[in-house]
């Protein structure tokens, strides 16, 4: 094992691409802990009495929102044996195994609607009721996040060149995605 590498997998991707599910499955397969900055952000939105989309828009003017999330990610990144699903963890933990999950927004909207049926935290923070509203909010959220991360850090977090592994989750089911992440991570950590 390369001592400069951390036993951390950071997973980023588009909304609905399966970041949370892939992180959970990868953590279970490896016996690692899991941290979700999306869940952290959803709890932040609930405390403020706003939706996750509204919190993203607030963050465009209030940089402290992103700074608080990023600080939590950096603090969590001091641990080992961890899978983190987060938009910016790859940036804050550069010695991690960096994964990006891609998915067209047209397909993501149906997945997010399905997730809303069972995920209580998502229900409390997102409050969307139909696929078209979900789609509009996905686009607004992506635009907001891309603008903020570029303005704050000069980082395009959707650039595939920044990752060790890019997976199109439209072409693979969850088991295949988890298997690929775990396999490629083991190759990476042992190289």
The span from the CA of 75 to the CA of 71, in Å, is: 6
Residues in the chain: 191
- Which pLDDT score, from 0 to 100, does residue 84 have? 97
- Which pLDDT score, from 0 to 100, does residue 36 have? 93
- Which pLDDT score, from 0 to 100, does residue 128 have? 57
- Torsional sign, CA 134, 116, 99, 157: positive
The span from the CA of 66 to the CA of 56, in Å, is: 9
DSSP bridge pairs for 167? 101
Taking only the tens of pLDDT, the chain with its 191 residues reads: 555 899 999 999 988 899 999 999 999 999 999 999 988 988 999 999 998 778 888 998 999 999 999 999 999 999 999 999 999 999 999 999 999 999 987 787 777 777 666 655 555 555 556 777 777 877 787 788 888 899 999 999 989 999 999 999 999 999 999 999 999 999 999 99
Residues 6+ apart with CB under 8 A from 129: none
Q: Which CATH superfamily is domain 8-185 in?
A: P-loop containing nucleotide triphosphate hydrolases (3.40.50.300)
Which secondary structure element, helix H or strand E, spans residue 36, and what is its range?
Answer: strand 33-36
Mind listing the pLDDT tens digit for each residue in 102-115? 998 778 777 777 76
Per-residue burial over 3-16, b = 16 or more CB atoms within 10 Å of its CB, e = otherwise:
eeebbbbbbbbbbb
Give the CA count within 13 Å in the CB-facing half-sphere of 154.
0
Mind listing the pLDDT tens digit for each residue in 52-61? 778 888 998 9
The stretches of the chain forming alpha helices (DSSP H) are 19-30, 37-48, 52-61, 63-76, 89-92, 105-118, 120-126, 131-153, 174-190
The span from the CA of 45 to the CA of 41, in Å, is: 6
């Amino acid at each position: 094992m390369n001592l400069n590498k951390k036993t951390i997998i950071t997973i980023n991707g588009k909304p609905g691409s399966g970041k949370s599910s892939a992180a959970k499955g990868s953590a279970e397969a490896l016996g690692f802990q899991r941290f979700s900055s999306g869940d952290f952000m959803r709890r932040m939105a609930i405390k403020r009495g706003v939706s996750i989309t509204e919190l993203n828009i607030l963050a465009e003017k209030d940089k402290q929102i992103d700074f608080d999330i990023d600080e939590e990610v950096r603090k969590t990144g001091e641990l080992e044996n961890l899978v983190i699903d987060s938009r910016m963890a790859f940036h804050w933990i550069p010695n991690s195994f960096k994964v990006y999950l891609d998915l067209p927004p047209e397909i993501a909207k149906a997945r997010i609607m399905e997730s809303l049926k069972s995920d209580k935290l998502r229900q409390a923070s997102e409050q969307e009721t139909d696929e078209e509203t979900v789609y509009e909010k996905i686009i607004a959220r992506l635009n907001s996040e891309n603008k903020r991360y570029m303005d704050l850090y000069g980082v395009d977090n959707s650039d595939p060149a920044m990752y060790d592994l890019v997976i199109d989750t439209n072409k693979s089911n969850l088991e295949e995605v988890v298997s690929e992440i775990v396999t490629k991570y083991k190759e990476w950590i042992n190289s």
